[in-house]
Homo-oligomer: A and B are copies of this chain.
Amino acid sequence: MQPVLAPLAECPCARTVESVGEWWSILILRDALQGITRFDEFQRSLGIAPNMLARRLRHLTESGMFERRLYQQRPPRHEYVLTAKGRDFFPVVAALVTFGNRYLAPEGEALLLAERGTARPVVPVLVDVTTSRPVTAASVTAIAGPRASAGMHHRLATLATRAAASSPNE
């Protein structure tokens, strides 16, 4: 068996995981995508310890997901507003919601995603932006990008060889 080398630091999935930092941060981003901006609201929504929340908000601000804005002068109070980058985390949250509704809500859904305006429920699926063809575990694979290291090339080649050797279709 060939070794499967581990260029973890190169993997875009691992980088996102590393950048966001921890589970709480996903729920903070979820709240922000629902319109929450203020410390005390995040705290009430999440039931999280203030020092932990402050740390996570600082981290997400430093990593460019939030912009901190003064909304009150005396005493000074800041709110946390999603940047364009922060709003682009939406597909991750939407995918988590979709999975949760499909597999983890046997009693029925408590929350649905719906079109603004019409309130018609939507079920998000992934398609390619160019061809509109479905993007699924069966239809796509990972290939080396322009800046792949030798280790990443080796890993992907090893996995591709094995996939070809196993069942022809999923």
Given A45-B6, A94-B126, A116-B141 in contact, is the A104-B36 Cβ separation under 8 Å? no
B125 and A129: CB pair below 8 A? yes
**Number of residues from A at the complex interface, CB < 8 A:** 99
**Is A148 interfacial (CB-CB < 8 Å)?**
yes
Q: Does A70 contact B (CB under 8 A)?
A: no
Contact check, B109 vs A145: say whether CB atoms are below 8 A apart.
Answer: yes
Partner of A128, one of B41, B96, B124, B138: B124
Max count, chain B CB within 10 A of own CB: residue among A6, A95, A97, A155? A95
Identify which of B16, B46, B121, B155 contacts A104 (C-beta below 8 A). Answer: B16
Q: Check A6–B44 contact: CB distance below 8 A.
A: yes
Cα distance A13–B95 when bound, in Å?
A: 8
Answer whether A113 and B93 are a contact pair too, CB < 8 Å, given A4-B45, A105-B147. no
| A114 interface neighbour in B126, B138, B140, Cβ under 8 Å | B140
Contacts of A140 in B (CB 8 A): 94, 113-116, 122
Residues in B with CB closer than 8 Å to A94 are 95, 126, 135, 140
Residue pair B99, A16 in contact (C-beta under 8 Å): yes
Chain B residues in 8 Å Cβ range of A89: 99
Q: List 29 A-B contacts (CB under 8 A).
A: A6-B46, A11-B30, A11-B100, A12-B97, A13-B27, A13-B96, A13-B97, A14-B100, A34-B141, A35-B163, A87-B170, A88-B99, A88-B102, A91-B98, A91-B99, A91-B124, A94-B126, A101-B145, A110-B144, A110-B145, A111-B142, A111-B145, A112-B145, A113-B141, A115-B139, A115-B140, A115-B141, A116-B138, A122-B135
